[in-house]
């Protein structure tokens, strides 16, 4: 006799998040498939990707697609109080950060930071809310540019562009992250 258990766990499979493009410009492009986890077609429980939480007075965003926890407010301690810095300072700051009761914060790698870009938006390619006070600054990643190791990858949320900048440039912002996929 086969019985269905009364209690079962709802397992959420993590995968790459969607880019945000919902318009189909040509059959077969990203807008056709809207591939990825967020607002998935297969699981109606996966409609909310970003969840904001206040922990110890600090606001964080939990990304249900990747399992990462982000500092939410660009003007809070998890983002260097909105200040800009060199790449080396950004890495050191993130590693030393205690925020929302956690001490394992770090600078995100380029793929992690790219995962929160919403390519369907213009002039601010990040969801505000839940990410507030992002501004038009560039944001450092922890990933060194392999062709020129004195540079690192960065992302500008104005348009979601990715490029490399000299690590000594003193104008990069940071958004700390913790956890992993």
Token pair belonging to 50? 């970003």
Q: Is residue 114 included in any domain, yes or no?
A: yes
55-93 tens-digit pLDDT? 999 999 999 888 899 999 999 999 999 999 999 999 999
Tell me, yes or no, whether 152 lies in a domain.
yes
**What is the number of structural domains in the chain?**
1
Residue 30 lies in a domain: no
pLDDT digits (tens, 9 = 90+) for 17-57: 667 677 878 777 767 666 666 544 444 555 678 999 999 99
In a domain, 73, yes or no: yes
Q: Tell me whether residue 17 is in a domain.
A: no
Quick one: pLDDT at residue 5? 42
Between 137 and 180, residue with greater pLDDT: 137
Which residues, at least 6 apart from 159, have a Cβ–Cβ distance to it below 8 Å? 122, 123, 125
Residue appearing with tokens 């200040």: 83
CATH of residue 54's domain is 3.10.100
Distance CA 28, CA 134 (A): 32
Least confidently predicted of 18-27, 103-112, 146-155: 18-27
Which residue range forms the structural domain that includes residue 98?
50-178
Does a structural domain hold residue 9? no
E strand or H helix that includes residue 166:
strand 161-166
H-type alpha helices, the chain? 30-33, 87-96, 110-114
pLDDT bin (cut points 50, 70, 90) of residue 180 is low
């Amino acid at each position: 006799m086969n019985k269905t258990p009364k209690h079962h766990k709802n397992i959420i499979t993590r995968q790459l998040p969607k880019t945000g493009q919902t318009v189909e410009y040509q059959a077969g492009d990203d807008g056709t498939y809207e591939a990825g986890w967020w607002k998935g077609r297969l699981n109606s429980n996966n409609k909310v990707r970003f969840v904001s939480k206040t922990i110890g007075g600090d606001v964080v965003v939990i990304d249900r697609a990747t399992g990462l926890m982000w500092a939410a407010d660009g003007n809070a301690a998890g983002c260097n109080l909105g200040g800009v810095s060199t790449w080396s300072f950004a890495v050191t700051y993130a590693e030393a950060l205690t925020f929302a009761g956690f001490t394992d914060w770090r600078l995100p790698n380029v793929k992690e930071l790219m995962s929160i870009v919403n390519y369907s938006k213009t002039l601010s390619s990040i969801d505000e809310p839940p990410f507030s006070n992002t501004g038009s600054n560039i944001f450092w990643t922890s990933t060194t540019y392999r062709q020129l190791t004195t540079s690192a990858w960065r992302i500008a949320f104005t348009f979601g562009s990715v490029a490399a900048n000299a690590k000594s440039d003193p104008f990069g912002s940071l958004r700390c992250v913790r956890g992993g996929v």
